């Protein structure tokens, strides 16, 4: 079955042009919605992705009607592929998994997207390591100062309960328990 998906961003916009294009392309069933593309959780898109089956082809008028980012596009096409469905954009002829060249180009673009994601992750990790070497602390700021933590350790060593120390410093029991665990690991 040839399935169409049409979307406009606001209720003031009209779906007529997209619907006409999709009907001319032979779409037998049409999913349409008026919802921003920035939100990946779109009711009709989700419904279509759950019902599309092996042998079906999803047709859209333009890529920007389906996805706002390369990542979203590849996630959606991955779902389609896993369901055994094909994909075709009327405005972008290269985005057509019903043809060998379209499958090839989408595979190349998917590979480039994964490479880009991997390079970003590598650069991020390098930046983290460099920052750690410079003494940058990651995570949330401790609830208690170093001096207060030393006082907590002394209080624990003197037999004070975790709960009473937590009340004294107006922090959660978990905060004092984490400090207690540092004593054990030393």
Active site residues: 9
Burial class of 31 by CB neighbour count within 10 A (0 to 12, 13 to 18, 19+): buried
Burial 37-59 (b: 16+ CB within 10 A, else e): beeeebebbeebbeebeeebbbb
Check if the beta carbon of residue 30 is closer than 8 Å to that of residue 6: yes
């Amino acid at each position: 079955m040839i399935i169409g998906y049409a979307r406009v961003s606001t209720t003031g916009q009209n779906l007529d042009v997209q619907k006409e294009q999709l009907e001319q392309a032979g779409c037998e069933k049409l999913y349409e919605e008026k919802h921003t593309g920035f939100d990946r959780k779109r009711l009709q898109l989700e419904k279509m992705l759950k019902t599309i089956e092996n042998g079906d082809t999803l047709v859209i008028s333009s890529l920007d009607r389906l996805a706002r980012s390369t990542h979203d596009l590849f996630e959606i096409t991955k779902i389609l592929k896993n369901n055994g469905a094909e994909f075709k954009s009327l405005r972008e002829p290269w985005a057509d998994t019903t043809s060998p060249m379209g499958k090839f180009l989408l595979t190349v673009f998917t590979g480039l997207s994964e490479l880009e994601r991997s390079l970003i992750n590598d650069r991020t990790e390098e930046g983290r390591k460099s920052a750690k070497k410079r003494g940058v602390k990651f995570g949330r700021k401790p609830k208690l100062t170093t001096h207060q933590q030393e006082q907590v350790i002394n209080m624990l060593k003197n037999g004070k309960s975790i709960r009473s120390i937590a009340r004294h410093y107006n922090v959660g029991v978990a905060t004092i328990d984490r400090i207690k665990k540092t004593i054990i690991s030393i």
